[in-house]
Structures are given as structure tokens and as C-alpha cells.
Amino acid sequence: MNLAYGYVAQTLQMHDELEAGRVNERRRNAADRRSLEGERADGPQGLFGRFAEWRQGRSRQRIHGLPVAH
């Protein structure tokens, strides 16, 4: 009977460790994806970004939204 309890406890512990490994892997993948998106945002800008800088006379980091005619 004690062997059965030990087997069940060991099986549950292994399952918990595998599940924790999967969760950590998902978190690591999400962090990698966010860092890549951040690098892309800081990377070279396209034609639209260059046009917006030229049109408004300021860098794209300082452009907030679209110009509005009042």
C-alpha cells in the first residue's frame, strides 16, 4: 500500500514539474517575442515613417497620432 502512495505522489510530482517546464517555456517564448517586436520598432523605418517625419518636421518618436485640421 505504501508503494502505491509513493508511486502516485511521484507521478503527480513529475506531472507538476513537466507542467511548470511548459509554463516557463511559454513565458520565455513570450519574452523573446516581445523583445523582437521592440527591436523591430527601433529598427529602420519605412517610407511612411520617413514621409511623416518630413511632413511634420519632427522625429517619429515625437509624432503622436495624426495631424488634425481645426
Q: What is the pLDDT of residue 17?
A: 93
Which one-letter amino acid corresponds to residue 11?
T
Q: What is the pLDDT of residue 40?
A: 66
Greater pLDDT, 3 or 64: 3
Q: What is the pLDDT of residue 27?
A: 94
Residue 1: how many CB atoms within 10 A of its CB? 5
Can you give the residue ranges of every domain in the chain? 2-62
The three grid cell numbers given for residue 23, joined into one nine-digit string? 509554463
Asked if residue 65 lies in contact with residue 52, where contact means CB atoms within 8 angstroms, the answer is: no
Global pTM value = 0.48
Q: What is the pLDDT of residue 14?
A: 92
> Using CA atoms, how far apart are residues 6 and 17, in angstroms rounded to an integer?
16
At 6-58, the pLDDT tens digits run 888 888 899 999 999 999 999 999 999 888 877 666 656 677 777 777 777 66
